Every structure is written in C-alpha cells, then in structure tokens.
Amino acid sequence: MEKSIENIWNQGFLDEGALLAPKINKLYEAKSINTIDTFKSMYRKNYWFIWILLLVNVIGATAFTNIYLGMFMGALFVPILVLSKKQIKVMDAIDPTQSSFDYLKTFNDWLQNMINDFWVVYRFFYPLYFLGMVTFLGLMDTGEDGDHIPMAYRILDSEMVYKIGGVPVIWVSVILLLTGIIAFFSRPIYMFDIRLVYGRLMDRMQTMIKEMEELRA
C-alpha cells in the first residue's frame, strides 16, 4: 500500500517478474513489431516504385525527345536504387529478437542514418532532375502548324526573345536561378518527401521510444 501507482507501473516495466511487466512488455512488443513491419513493407514498395519512375522517365524522354536524354534521366535514379538496395540489406539485418525498446532504438538509429545517406544523393538529384525536365520540355515536339519544331528551337528563332550572341539570356537566367533555388532548398524538399511517405510511422516510433524511456527512468 506504500507504493504509488507510478512506482508500481515503473517496477512492472523494469522487472520481468512483476505483475504488470508481462502485459506492458507484450503491449510495446506488439506495437514495435507492427510499426517496424509496416515501415519495412512501405520501404520495399517505395523501392519498386522508384524502378517504375525510372522506366517511365526513360521511356518518356526517349519517345518524346531522344535516347540521350532518356539515358540521362534514367542515370539519375541509379544511385537512389543502389543505395535503396543496400539499405534494405542493413534494415533486414537488424535483430528482431532483442527487447522491444532496443529493437526500436536500433531501427530508429538505422532510419536516421538512412535519411542522412540519401540526403547526399538527393541534394544532387533534385536540381539535376529539374534541368532534365526543362530539357525534356524544351526538346518536345510542339506540333504547332504541322511543322514539328521543338519548343527550344522556337525560342531560339523568335525575334521577340532577347538574346546575346544567340543565347536567350533571360530564359537561361531564369532556369539557372530556379535550379539554384531548388539546390539551396533541397534539404527541406527532401525532408518533405520523407515526411510525406513515412512521417506517420516516424512520429509513432518517436512517441513509443519517448514513452519507454520515461517508464525506464
């Protein structure tokens, strides 16, 4: 009767032989396994989705412009796929037989390392992909008046476009400015992408880790 509810709860969490320990441990074990299994499933689906994006970009760029742009667009996705495959192996190597707390902590450490590793790739991917899409739009056949002239050539031939030495400086300046802005904000863009796909599960893991650390204190 001298023990408070909080003390009983803490003892139950820390002591395998206490009355509350089995229920609390099973609860967090189930939640941990469910959360991590869901994350693994989503990660693998995202890996194959990147393959689909690669094929769509390669086929689209080749069909509507030329094979060289198709190869460029496809090459942008290769480092992402290689790193994704490597991260899947590291993810699967995490020992699920350890305690639910250690399992969550280990998985969360892998997640943070994975985010940092991918950031190195995506900081170059975003601006280069933007340039690829601009080139794609510029080389697309506009099909106007049946003359089938790509948009870039229409801009270069237009007398209304300001040019220096045949270079449309305003167009080029705008493209380079936007590329620089995308490169500068690539980290927030990348984190927005990550949060969009995995945000709910990341928040759930952080909440569970915090709760378990408080109970172990």
CA distance 130 to 134: 6
> Which pLDDT band holds residue 9 (cuts at 50, 70, 90)?
very low
> Which pLDDT band holds residue 100 (cuts at 50, 70, 90)?
confident
> Which pLDDT band holds residue 19 (cuts at 50, 70, 90)?
very low
Provide the domain count of the chain: 1
Would you say the pTM of this structure is higher than 0.75?
yes
Give the CA count within 13 Å in the CB-facing half-sphere of 123.
8
What's the mean pLDDT in 36-47? 95
Give the CA count within 13 Å in the CB-facing half-sphere of 62.
11
What's the mean pLDDT in 164-171? 82
What's the mean pLDDT in 183-210? 93
> Which pLDDT band holds residue 80 (cuts at 50, 70, 90)?
very high
Which are the contacts of 59, defined by CB distance < 8 A and separation ≥ 6?
A: 70
Q: Is the dihedral of CA 39, 45, 48, 50 positive or negative?
A: negative
CA distance 131 to 186: 14
> Which pLDDT band holds residue 145 (cuts at 50, 70, 90)?
low
Structure-token match 């172990």, residue found: 216
What's the mean pLDDT in 121-129? 96
Per-residue model confidence as pLDDT tens digits over 155-164: 777 777 777 8
| 85 neighbors 43 (Cβ within 8 angstroms) | no
Q: What is the pLDDT of residue 30?
A: 79
Q: What is residue 15's DSSP assignment?
A: -
> Which pLDDT band holds residue 21 (cuts at 50, 70, 90)?
low
Q: What is the pLDDT of residue 40?
A: 95
Q: Which of 130, 171, 129 is nearest to 152 (CA)?
A: 171
Which are the contacts of 175, defined by CB distance < 8 A and separation ≥ 6?
A: 131, 134
* Residue range of the domain that includes 143: 5-216
CA distance 43 to 39: 6
> Which pLDDT band holds residue 49 (cuts at 50, 70, 90)?
very high
Least confident of 73-82, 89-98, 102-111, 140-149: 140-149
Report the chain's mean pLDDT, rounded to a whole number.
85
